[in-house]
Structure 1
Amino acid sequence: MDAPNDACELGLDIDVWLTFYDEITDEALLARLRSLLSEDERRQEARYHFADDRKRHVVTRSLVRSVLSHYADVSPADWTFSANAFGRPQIAGAQAGKEALRFNVSHTRGLIALGVTRGRELGVDVEHVSARRIGTGIAEHFFSPREAAALTQVAPERRQERFFEYWTLKESYIKARGMGMSISLDQFSFHFPHPGAVRLEMQPELGDNQARWSFWQYRPARDYLLAICAERLGGQAPRVRIHKTVPTVAVESLTLALLKSTEPIAE
């Protein structure tokens, strides 16, 4: 599998790798991917009851391992991982400082998204927007009052989509912070001042600054939404590059229409 050119220059770029794991049906390939996993990761696979969950686990873990090896001279099977105090996976052991790499992974029914960057915090979230029906009560429980109120003003036929526009952005921010659900979802709000624009607002008690973050939202395929949150370094927003891959086999660059992104920050 060929790596993208100039992969993730320090402080400049984000690569997002997409794998539609339902497309992987070759048992021999799945066996090869499984061989890259650690013993603990294989034990985790065995704990899943459903075949789809076991397959997703194998593809996710092998995707992380094989993709990270594009950015550092480490074999896929040699990467080691740990979790921070809030449970976010991170590179561990002798590879922990390799090339200042950061990664974040998300999965939903049929699709895995892996974000990789250097030297900045990063969060990604992908959701299948029609996998389950969402009621306004969920928004009232998890969203800020402003977001929940705005959702009720959306036409009923658009409300499901708008819910996941909010949800993926909020999840990407929480994942970039690396603090899990210790961050209350109602302490920060997204709103869309005009088509294609995202604006983040937060309460002072969150202890953060909205100018620190950039956001992007894409549609990787019908019924999916992808959100990316990345730390701005020196006030400069990074480029985002998106790739579709079958781990260890093939990679192609994708040009996806940008649905929304952060408005330029006034100096």
Structure 2
Amino acid sequence: MGYTETVAHVWCRPVADDAAARDGVRPTDVEWTLSDGELARRDTLRRAQDRALYTAAWGLVRQSLSAAEPQVRPDEWRFLRSSLGRPEVHHPARARSLRFNLSHTEGMVACVVTRDARCGVDVERPGRVLPLHRLTRSVLSAREQREFGLAPPGRRQELFFRYWTLKEAYLKAIGTGIRFPMTDCEFDVGMGRPVLRSLAAGPQHSGYTFRQWPVQHGGLLAVAVQGDPGRTWEDDVAVRVHLP
């Protein structure tokens, strides 16, 4: 099945070890798809779990792109870095309209693929203990901080990660990464789909739509996809989610 301009495909998989469930991405199963350069970069990572995540993440990227272009094998893709450091499809040339973004966290990898539309994805597993009150000052806007403070204590970590994953996905989609302060974009994560409430980066970065889902083992996945500012999500962008 090919992708169209109006469809974003989102893939998320746990990274399996030898005892993991059959639906996990096993690094040994996808290692053959990586280029020599990717394998060399992988081997510079000191921790075994980091090497496994790297292998699984780039293996998932290559498999996701081949789902968009089935005539291209996963090992045939070649990438270049943009001026902002973002990896983009270089070979085959006919597939350069494909856009993708990847994310990984402990034990999990995610990828989003579109055609022509900018996109970003973030996956996190909120189980680890974080200094939330300190982090909120560098991640949340003043209004979001007030909403965080009013939330029941038992919901605050989930609420923080809802904001965090949306902002990560969005800043990756617009290409700024952490160079743009997270506190300068603001989301409404109340009822319904997440909505960008305000943005200091200017109108050129408007027109994005957002989705968010829970994933395995308490994880949270968010995606940002460029659309037409004058149209709604239903009119402009459809999402196909491939979760285990």
One-letter amino acid matched to 2:211: W
- Cα distance between partner residues in 2 of 1:30 and 1:199: 35
Aligned to 1:202: 198
Read off the aligned partner of 2:209 and give its amino acid letter. S
Q: 2:215 aligns with which of 196, 220, 223?
A: 220
TM (norm. structure 1) is 0.80
Give the structure 2 partner of residue 157 of structure 1. 154
Find the aligned partners of 1:62 and 1:25 in 2 and give their Cα distance.
20
Q: Distance in 1 between matches of 2:99 and 2:67?
A: 13
Q: 1:222 to 1:75 in 2, by over 3 A?
A: closer
Contact 2:110–2:121 (CA under 8 A) maintained in structure 1: yes
Query: AA paired with 2:196?
Result: L
Counterpart in the other structure of 1:177: 174
Specify whether residues 24 and 52 from structure 1 end up closer, same or farther in structure 2 by C-alpha distance, changes over 3 A only: same
Residue ranges of structure 2 left out of the alignment (5+ in a row): 21-25
Q: Does 1:102 align with 2:99?
A: yes
Residue equivalent to 2:23:
none
Report how far residue 99 of structure 1 moved: 6.1
Unaligned runs of 5+ in 1: 1-5, 245-253, 255-267
SS in 2 for 1:15: strand
> What whole-Å deviation, never above 9, does each CA across 1:7-59 have from its counterpart, x for those lacking one?
322x2211111111125669xx6445222211111111111112111111111
Name the residue aligned to 1:262: none
Query: Structure 1: which amino acid aligns with 2:182?
Result: L
Quote the Cα distance in structure 2 between the aligned partners of 1:130 and 1:191. Answer: 23
Structure-1 residue corresponding to 2:144: 147
SS at match of 2:51: helix
Offset from partner CA, 1:57-85 (integer Å, 9 cap, x none)? 11111111122122223222221112222
Give the secondary-structure state (helix, strand or coil) at the position aligned to 1:22: coil
Provide the residue aligned with 1:87 in structure 2.
85
Distance 1:151 1:131 in 2: 18
Are the aligned partners of 2:168 and 2:177 in contact in 1 as well (CA < 8 Å)?
Answer: no
State the partner residue of 1:131: 128
Asked whether the equivalents of residues 7 and 15 of structure 1 are also in contact (C-alpha less than 8 Å), the reply is no
Count of matched residue positions in the alignment of Structure 1 and Structure 2? 234
Separation (CA, whole Å) in 1 of partners of 2:137 and 2:201: 20
Given that residues 134 and 160 in structure 1 are in contact (C-alpha distance below 8 angstroms), is that contact kept between their aligned partners in structure 2? no
C-alpha contact 1:105 1:113 (8 A) present in aligned 2: yes
User: What code does the residue aligned with 1:184 have?
Assistant: P
**Which residue in 2 is equivalent to 1:237?**
236
SS where residue 227 of structure 1 aligns? Answer: strand
1:34–1:211 CA distance, 2 compared to 1 (3 A): closer
CA RMSD of aligned residues (A): 2.2
TM superposition shift of 1:161? 0.5
Counterpart amino acid of residue 212 in structure 1:
G
The 2-side partners of 1:60 and 1:154 are apart by 34
- Other structure's SS at 1:195 match: coil
For 1:51 and 1:97, locate their aligned partners in 2 and report how far apart those are by CA, in whole Å. 36
Change over 3 Å in CA distance of 1:23–1:46 after alignment to 2: closer
Distance in 1 (CA, whole Å) between partners of 2:155 and 2:31 is 40
Identity across the alignment (%): 31
